Every structure is written in structure tokens, then in C-alpha cells.
Amino acid sequence: MSKIKCAIIGSGNIGTDLMIKIMRNSQFLEMGAMVGVDPNSDGLARAARFGFETTAESIEGLLKLPNFKEIKIVFDATSAGAHQHHNAVLQQYGIQVIDLTPAAIGPYVIPVVNLDEHMNAPNINMVTCGGQATIPMVHAVSRVAKVHYAEIIASIASKSAGPGTRANIDEFTETTSKAIEEVGGAEKGKAIIIMNPAEPPLIMRDTVYCLAEVGADQEAIRQSVKEMADAVQAYVPGYRLKQEVQFEEFNVDRPLNIPGLGKLPGLKVSVFLEVEGAAHYLPAYAGNLDIMTSAALAAAERFAETHLTQKIA
């Protein structure tokens, strides 16, 4: 079967893990090039050993590679600031861009929620690791009940937060909060990230709080959350609910005080998640990085499959 050639910009942890996932798991993609800025990076060295084209001259180096014209999809695993330039260059060549930074030039995409709506977008944004883990749960609640407010807390091991993650903390919270509203369906969203220095490192844990409308159907919410968890688990095997969904009712006599919204009655829904990495390149505790690369690969597979189908037709 023919495959679509892709390139990865960013030879750090995320880019290297994504490269290995493409090699091991992809049905419609094949690696064409690994692009970085540090000639001594492990990602570039591994890519070279695998026989892929490499360059340490960033996007300008990618344009010079002999197989550049064959590349149809590019993943950007660098930083929000760098992505602005990378995207501007790649769009000149009609390349499908999948953005793993919080730049959010293109629409926010969570594969199980809204990928179908953005199959024609030249650039899609994979939100953040916290967003990929938690927004499906917000959407699971909002598709069966109105959600006034949703708050997510993503707790990751300090060791799994590289320089890119640390440089983009503000973008993480802003991008995730917006996506909770735009993709998750909450009227108002808030995101918090915690980098836990515990030793040994703990795997990614996520907590999702939603304030749903008064009288929301608890069983319908419980079932919707379970179905969504199964859907995410299809491409992130280590994704799982830690326990049953928890509910607490707040009536008009005992409303919940939401900053920015005031005192509201409703049904508080609490969802507790755990994301264990596949340990392809990164440690198993780095589920925050694994869910980003897994989501990006799932999206790229759909793009590649669609391209191949259209080509055959």
C-alpha cells in the first residue's frame, strides 16, 4: 500500500516519540524527514540511524532536502512562537500542517470530538496535553446537558515537562481554556497545570469539574463519559477513568460560587482520569506527551487516508 510522506519539525522528546509511533503504528504515513536546530539532538541522531532525511537548519533546511517535494504532512513540535514562521512557510507549498504547539493558528482539534469538521483546514491545532485528555470529558457532559462552567486540572511529572512545555505555560492555560469552551461546549472554561516534582515520577492525572444545568440526567452523563473514554482509549491505550463519575447537586438555596459567573445552582460533575504513556521513547509516566503524539498521529492518519482515497478515485 502506498503511504503519505510526512516530516516532523522539532527533534525533542515529543518529535522523537511521534517519529517512533509513525514507524510502529501508522497505516497511511511514512517518515520523510526529521527537522531540528540542535545537530547533537538525540532525535536527529535516531532519525539518521533509521535512514530518514535530517537537517539541523530548521524550516529552511527542510526546504533544501531532496525529498521535500514528496512531503504532504508536517507536524510541528517546537514552540508557539516558532510555529508562526513555520506555518507561513509551509502554507506556500500547500502542505497539511499539524500543530502540537499552543500557537492555535488553525482550529482546535480533538480527534474524537471534532476532527470531521476540520478535514479541509490547512492547519489544525492539537490544543495541549491537558486539553487532549480533558476536553473529551467536557464534551461528553455537554452533549447530554448544558454546561455552565468547566475547570480542568492537569497534573504531570516535572521530568516530563521539557523546555518547550515550560516556555509555553501561559499559552497552555489560555489555549486550553478557550478550547474547553469552543470544543468542549462549556459556557466558560478554566485550565490549571501542575508540574509535580515527586520521585519516582507520577503518571499524568487529570481532574475535570463541570457545573451542568439543574436536573441534568446523571445516568446519561455517566454513560456518555464512559463511551467517550472508550473512544479516546482507541488511540491512547493508557487513557482511563480512575473511578466512577461523581455527582453533587447544588440548589438555589445552596448555589456554587463560580468566579466570573457568580452563584449558580446545578449539578457538579467530577471526572478523574489517568494517562499512562505507551513508553515507545518516553517513560510510561509521560502520558502528557504520549497523548499529544497519539492525538496528532490519529488526526494525520485521517488526513493521509482521505488523501490516498481521493488519489485512487
Is the confidence at residue 312, as pLDDT, over 80? no
Tell me which residue of 300, 187, 181 sits closest to 235, measured CA to CA: 300
How sure is the predictor about 66, in pLDDT bands with cuts at 50, 70 and 90?
A: very high
Q: What is the pLDDT of residues 133-175, one digit of tens each?
A: 999 999 999 999 999 999 999 999 999 987 777 877 888 899 9
pTM above 0.85, yes or no: yes
Determine whether the annotation assigns residue 47 to a binding site. no
The whole-number pLDDT of residue 293 equals 97
Q: Is 122 helix (H, G, I), strand (E, B) or coil?
A: coil
Instruction: Over range 78-107, report the average pLDDT.
Output: 95
Planar angle of CA 266, 268, 270, nearest 5 degrees: 165
Is the confidence at residue 180, as pLDDT, over 60? yes
Note whether 233 and 287 are within 8 A (CB): no
Instruction: Over range 99-122, report the average pLDDT.
Output: 96
Determine whether the annotation assigns residue 13 to a binding site. yes
Q: Give the whole-angstrom CA distance, residue 187 versus residue 217.
A: 19
Q: Where are the alpha helices (DSSP H) in the chain?
A: 13-25, 42-50, 58-64, 80-91, 111-114, 129-142, 163-167, 169-182, 218-233, 287-312
Determine whether the annotation assigns residue 94 to a binding site. no
How sure is the predictor about 1, in pLDDT bands with cuts at 50, 70 and 90?
A: low
Beta bridge partners of 269: 210, 247
Is the confidence at residue 313, as pLDDT, over 60? no
Is the confidence at residue 110, as pLDDT, over 80? yes
Determine whether the annotation assigns residue 257 to a binding site. no
CA dihedral (195, 234, 120, 134) in degrees, to 10, reads -30
Tell me what the pLDDT averaged over the chain comes to.
95
Tell me, yes or no, if 129 is annotated catalytic.
Answer: yes
What residue ranges define each of the domains in the chain, with the CATH number in brackets?
A: 4-126+291-312 (3.40.50.720), 129-283 (3.30.360.10)
Determine whether the annotation assigns residue 161 to a binding site. yes
The whole-number pLDDT of residue 161 equals 84
Note whether 96 and 72 are within 8 A (CB): yes
Is the confidence at residue 240, as pLDDT, over 80? yes
Q: Give the whole-angstrom CA distance, residue 172 versus residue 264.
A: 27
Determine whether the annotation assigns residue 41 to a binding site. no
Q: What is the pLDDT of residues 265-286, one digit of tens each?
A: 999 999 999 999 999 999 999 9
Q: What is the pLDDT of residues 35-64, one digit of tens each?
A: 999 999 999 999 999 999 999 999 999 999
User: Exactly one of 98, 129, 269, 273 is catalytic; which is it?
Assistant: 129
Determine whether the annotation assigns residue 101 to a binding site. no
Determine whether the annotation assigns residue 302 to a binding site. no
